[in-house]
Structure 1
């Protein structure tokens, strides 16, 4: 028996099975983690049913509660007694629910923990309405009337549903006007403001040079007057839109009888989840998912979408890749093909390997001090003096964030490229040189193309690390909410000096800095899932390019 075991271990089979088991466990753990993140994040967009209860507090007073059940858990009676609520001595375990009651301006909080023993008379009223607002979160209640220009034009009792179609039509109308206003403010008016700021900087530049004479300023004043005339016309058009936008309002009443007037301009959407069919719920779910990936955030990032964060993450990674790839490849080619393989070269390789282990926050501090304050500050003094004291490049922005992450991932690209270059047989180089090619031609036409899959491997590893980094970005460019995207229709189109949003920082901000933790928790999971998806898409794109290069130059390996 012992002899057979020794032979079995000598074959190496146990280690193969051990490695296979470790890989299988890792895959299961990763898939399980992604499953938890996906289920907890994606379920948030499903239209939850509204439940109405009779709630009896510890003093015996009763009130009606309307809201969504978010969570159910068991707690010990001791915990409840410590909170000041009387519980019979023979009770050890109690069930409680976390209910999203909304109506923050009335109740002070969107969520409420209640014991199930305090709830009774559970119903699902079909005419209960969920109102998603641009501010103050969701409102749950019953429609009782519609106002136009402050005059009540229609009303109903909370038990009726006669006004539902009228309310939906007015909501659609207000939403269309809101989109028109947003397009006007972010489009034509935004472009005029950008041009006016450029003219102001030109005037300031002439003033600094002492050339602000009447002749030199005349054409600038003419341009400014034309722009101001356009602005006045657009502003009047905007005011004409705001008047009907603010015209209508909705009267709603809560389950406990409190009445509230909500202007239709404040409403994002409203729906009656208890009366929706399955198909309507599916449509609602798809619409919410599309909003999540295509809209701007609102309500301190706890509502709305994450499009600016997705856009900023992808754009930063692309710029970082364009910076780090040539520098990493050139450094690796020099170390492997040109440098004398002596003490200095070995020391450089050791330094490169050690740089890969430096904490990312150290790179952030370096980027802030060197890129932002030193290089950016000098660029402002040389080229953007008219804008001072407001910094242009002397403040954290997209360019400095990309450069910092390029520096952080540079060792990965150098090491991967060197490994690829070392695998190229010496005979290939000698054959090329024997045919009359120079060393540079051999590198450019033979060696580097054959090593390109390894270079792409380095880029893949760099993208995977850079896309998930947060600590250095907090110092060199990322912000909680960016008013403008770094890429727009205003020249020079790509604004490298602007701050941007990032999915990793968005997760940190929503999860740990949000004023409404319970409301933000599902968005943390959903945003984390989106970050994984973005990284996977970027990596799969790079892998596809690497595979094409590998197939293209396979003949050279043979």
Structure 2
């Protein structure tokens, strides 16, 4: 009887709901911890291991690198792969080493059986070099040469190397600024001149007017070409200064290698670092990851263009979806005549929220890009054709597609907020002499603002993580230019962008170097989650502030 009464009281269902909620929270927190450990532990300076590897034929070689993974396998599986192991062994352990030096050996990750490895050593003079190409280099520094003459070696070598790497990175930043900004600006202006010349032909301008315009364009082109030659000479001078310094290093097998310092991002003796040095190294690499540009088919470098593209796209999407969603909800709730047609519209809105996102991508490609974008090109950019301006996937079409994707969420949330406003509030406003319009915009809409912000929060959360539609309407593997820069009109809605979600897909499934890309997938995924959390917390703070404001005014 007591069990039956306890069951009828509803307490079991409360415990079941609480248990399910606890399990969900534990799973979410566990997933985030897994992503954080797998991703950002990649940036910690791992110990550099040196050991001897004995091959099946008895030959030996020395390897130097980082231990990435270890696993235990059935011995039969290893024998089938042609590896020689003890006949009595039932299981065998093998280790994955990141040995770098891909330009010398052809691969920078290699598995070795534990039985084939000698004693593990951790030499303090071993160094890891992060390069702009060919991945990491592992070895021992020998000397630094400048224009063929030795300038550092022995005890003073490491401090001199760090100073010259810092100088080389500074020169590289100057070269990058000239190439990306200055020369890019000149190229854009030269392209505008070319388009103006085509415009004269397209619109049939002839006679004295054409000659005057052509003379002006020729003068502008000559000035830009002169400026370009000056910048190119400046760039070549910086490049020559950056290429003067060469580091000579020795691999674990004794091979001497020359590395230009302009190809080095950073160098570290991981085994000689103390706790403070490791923490500095760790945060420096994380900062480079968040603020740098990708390299090596997105398996090296940073993700700043993807972060920037994601944020800009979500902000533009929010600006587009909020007014349309709010106005549609106000019309449906406050002005439209209730009836079967309105019920059909509401059902359509609810169903639209469940349409697969790839369908919106196909619609955006066909309607926004090809139809609207193609029409805009024909009307406003005829001199650029057949090269499209807006008739190709870009930032604006990606934002507009996501706005259409999230529009039902904003409409439904805003409608529910409007429905929760008591009828007595409307009647009291009307009784005081306010019109319906004044009642709506000065009383009802402000009180329902928190619900509108809730819709926007849900829209941002969904839009920031979408990938499938963006692959069709504006997101690419690598965007050469950011959509926002110092060139007029400053925000370039026609440019293609990078996106964190697509970056995760590309690095995880399209990368030629799976082992190198795996930790970056986790780190990028955690960055995306953190970015969505920041955007949502910002919107939640605004919503709470509005809620408290209008609650205090109503009191």
TM-score interval, smaller chain: over 0.9
Structure 2 length normalisation: TM-score?
0.97
Shift of 1:147: 2.7
Q: 2:137 aligns with which of 129, 134, 139?
A: 139
Structure 1 length normalisation: TM-score?
0.96
SS in 1 for 2:118: strand
Correspondence list, 1:495-514, <5 A: 495-514=492-511
- 1:265-301 Cα offsets, whole Å, 9 max, x none, are 1111111111122111111111111111111111111
Q: 1:320 aligns with which of 308, 317, 320?
A: 317
Greater alpha carbon shift after TM alignment, 511-520 vs 242-251: 242-251
- 1:112-170 Cα offsets, whole Å, 9 max, x none, are 00011110121111111111110000011112233322x252586xxx65522232222
Q: 2:214 aligns with which of 210, 214, 217?
A: 217
**Who is 2:535 aligned against?**
538
Shift of 1:476: 0.4
Hey, what's the Cα distance between the residues in 1 that align with 2:162 and 2:549? Answer: 58
Correspondence list, 1:56-455, <5 A: 56-149=54-147, 151-153=148-150, 162-211=156-205, 213-455=210-452
**Who is 1:34 aligned against?**
32
Hey, what's the Cα distance between the residues in 2 that align with 1:216 and 1:499? Answer: 32
Report if aligned partners of 2:102, 2:108 keep a CA contact under 8 Å in 1: yes
Report if aligned partners of 1:367, 1:476 keep a CA contact under 8 Å in 2: yes
Hey, what's the Cα distance between the residues in 1 that align with 2:439 and 2:356? Answer: 38
**Who is 2:8 aligned against?**
10
Shift of 1:60: 1.3
Hey, what's the Cα distance between the residues in 1 that align with 2:241 and 2:163? Answer: 14
Number of equivalenced pairs: 552
SS in 2 for 1:121: coil
SS in 1 for 2:124: coil
Shift of 1:557: 5.8
Q: Which consecutive unaligned segments of at least 5 residues does structure 1 have?
A: none
Hey, what's the Cα distance between the residues in 2 that align with 1:447 and 1:389? Answer: 51
Hey, what's the Cα distance between the residues in 1 that align with 2:311 and 2:94? Answer: 42
Hey, what's the Cα distance between the residues in 1 that align with 2:40 and 2:365? Answer: 37
Shift of 1:470: 0.2
Shift of 1:86: 2.1
4+ runs of 1 displaced by more than 3 Å?
Answer: 555-558
Evaluate the alpha carbon distance shift between residue 147 and residue 20 of structure 1 in structure 2; reply closer, same or farther with a 3 A threshold: same
Greater alpha carbon shift after TM alignment, 519-528 vs 21-30: 21-30
Residue 460 in 1 paired to residue 457 in 2? yes
Greater alpha carbon shift after TM alignment, 356-365 vs 211-220: 211-220
Shift of 1:5: 2.9
- 1:429-482 Cα offsets, whole Å, 9 max, x none, are 111112221111111011111111111110000000000000000000001111
Report if aligned partners of 1:131, 1:267 keep a CA contact under 8 Å in 2: yes
- 1:296-355 Cα offsets, whole Å, 9 max, x none, are 111111111111101110110010011011111111111111111100000001101111
Report if aligned partners of 1:47, 1:284 keep a CA contact under 8 Å in 2: yes
Hey, what's the Cα distance between the residues in 1 that align with 2:333 and 2:152? Answer: 81
Shift of 1:358: 0.5
Hey, what's the Cα distance between the residues in 2 that align with 1:525 and 1:88? Answer: 37
Hey, what's the Cα distance between the residues in 2 that align with 1:401 and 1:87? Answer: 56
Hey, what's the Cα distance between the residues in 2 that align with 1:493 and 1:88? Answer: 67
Q: 2:45 aligns with which of 44, 47, 59?
A: 47
Evaluate the alpha carbon distance shift between residue 119 and residue 154 of structure 1 in structure 2; reply closer, same or farther with a 3 A threshold: farther
SS in 1 for 2:252: coil
Report if aligned partners of 1:199, 1:220 keep a CA contact under 8 Å in 2: yes
Hey, what's the Cα distance between the residues in 1 that align with 2:242 and 2:63? Answer: 32
Superposition RMSD in Å: 1.4
Report if aligned partners of 1:127, 1:161 keep a CA contact under 8 Å in 2: no
Report if aligned partners of 2:152, 2:160 keep a CA contact under 8 Å in 1: no
**Who is 1:494 aligned against?**
491
Q: Which consecutive unaligned segments of at least 5 residues does structure 2 have?
A: none
